Amino acid sequence: MPQLITTAEQLFFNSIDDLSSMPLPTDVLMVRPLHYSVDYVINPHMANQVGKVDTTEAHKEWKMVRSLFDRIGLNVRIIEDQDGLPDMVFCANQSLPYINEEDHRHVFMSIMHAEQRKKEVPYFEQWYRQNGHEIHYLDERKIENFEGCGDAIWHSGRRLLWGGYGHRSSLDAYQTISDTFNVPVITLELADETFYHLDTCFCVLDEHTALIYPEAFTEHGLELIHAVFNRVIEAAEYEAEELFACNACCPDGRNVIIQQGCTDVNKKLQDAGFSVHEVSTSEFLKSGGSVFCMKMLLW
């Protein structure tokens, strides 16, 4: 019964266990940041950071993130970045992959919000084509923008998508995605420009647990989150805004890879039984991204 869910009254299931299961990702795609830099300002975090990235340090940090994904058991796939596309390393944004009930791989290509990032998409499209995915496109005449898994986040282990909108993705995109993939989408309006992608304020940890920054959502959004997750861990302002705590990544429902120094969130994660792996992404924070933005989970 695919549909868009925008308020808690529209939830048609009582518990997440009522939804059909979806395999956890096995692979992770990353883009080597050899041409990464902050060259322009398209989100509030990039202001005053133009020209300030230490490329050597960035590559070191990126390698640490890559080795953590490897260590927790994901098969890491690499794409080389391109000169003139300094944000290409943030490979959560150019696509939304999906595996259907027959184990066929599908992907929606994004319509990037900023002109500066539009040329990134064909490189990913080519990779997906070479790697056996059926490719889908949104109608650019009707849908303004959509930034892939920056805003569209799969529920852990269930055929349910969470769809953020307001800054980088249009609400309309989710109707097409829901119809094509035949999955329900819970839409969440993003209320604060600092948290411009859903992955900056919302992290699915396991089927029953989310990590969020509550101030980034509307009342309706918070109601939906609390209606679906039994356990909601909240990040406080400093760790959410300065350290991108909610941009953590938990691909297997157990191991959380997170920016180093999120003391309060890490304690809450450990108390809830998660294994925390801290890593520095300081060079990427300058561009408004951290762990979750630097990868694409795949099957």
Ligand X SMILES: NC(=[NH2+])NCCC[C@H](N)C(=O)O
Binding residues for ligand X, total number by CB under 6 A: 16
Residue placing its CB nearer to ligand X in the complex, 158 or 197: 197
Task: Specify whether 226 is catalytic.
Answer: no
150-169: which residues touch ligand X (CB under 6 A)?
A: 150
| 289 near ligand X, judged by CB under 6 A | yes
Are 43 and 288 in contact by the 8 Å Cβ rule? The answer is yes
Side-chain-side CA neighbours of 22 within 13 Å: the count stands at 25
Binding residue for ligand X, selected from 30, 31, 42, 161, defined by CB under 6 A: 42
Instruction: Give me 46's structure tokens.
Output: 């990039």
Give the integer Cα–Cα distance in Å for 293 and 280: 14
Q: Which stretch binds ligand X (CB under 6 A): 1-9, 76-84, 214-222, 288-296?
A: 288-296
Beta partners for 210?
Answer: 204, 232
- DSSP-derived secondary structure letter, 158: B
Question: What contacts 92, CB < 8 A, 6 or more positions away?
Answer: 148, 149, 150, 199, 292, 293, 294, 295, 296
189-208: which residues touch ligand X (CB under 6 A)?
A: 197, 199-200
> What's the closest the beta carbon of residue 216 comes to ligand X, in angstroms?
12
Binding residue for ligand X, selected from 143, 287, 295, 297, defined by CB under 6 A: 287
| 25 near ligand X, judged by CB under 6 A | no
| 90 near ligand X, judged by CB under 6 A | yes
CA 96 to each of CA 8, 117, 149, 238, 291: distance values in angstroms, whole numbers, following the listed order: 25, 16, 6, 29, 17
Point out the catalytic residue in the list 91, 246, 262, 293. Answer: 293
| 120 near ligand X, judged by CB under 6 A | no
The letter for the amino acid at 1 is M
CA 127 to each of CA 107, 135, 218: distance values in angstroms, whole numbers, following the listed order: 11, 11, 37
> What's the closest the beta carbon of residue 284 comes to ligand X, in angstroms?
8
> What's the closest the beta carbon of residue 199 comes to ligand X, in angstroms?
5
> What's the closest the beta carbon of residue 113 comes to ligand X, in angstroms?
8
Q: Which stretch binds ligand X (CB under 6 A): 1-9, 89-97, 120-128, 221-229?
A: 89-97
Binding residue for ligand X, selected from 53, 92, 152, 211, defined by CB under 6 A: 92
User: Within 146-250, where are the H helices?
Assistant: 173-181, 219-228, 237-241
Give the integer Cα–Cα distance in Å for 63 and 206: 26
Binding residue for ligand X, selected from 81, 87, 207, 241, defined by CB under 6 A: 87
Binding residue for ligand X, selected from 4, 19, 25, 43, defined by CB under 6 A: 43
Give the integer Cα–Cα distance in Å for 70 and 66: 6
Point out the catalytic residue in the list 45, 113, 155, 197. Answer: 197
Residue 1: closest CA among 14, 13, 16, 17: 13
Task: Specify whether 203 is catalytic.
Answer: no
Q: Which stretch binds ligand X (CB under 6 A): 39-47, 130-138, 179-187, 258-266?
A: 39-47
Binding positions for ligand X, rule: CB under 6 A: 42-43, 46, 87, 90, 92-93, 117, 150, 197, 199-200, 287-289, 293
- Residues with a catalytic annotation lie at 197, 293
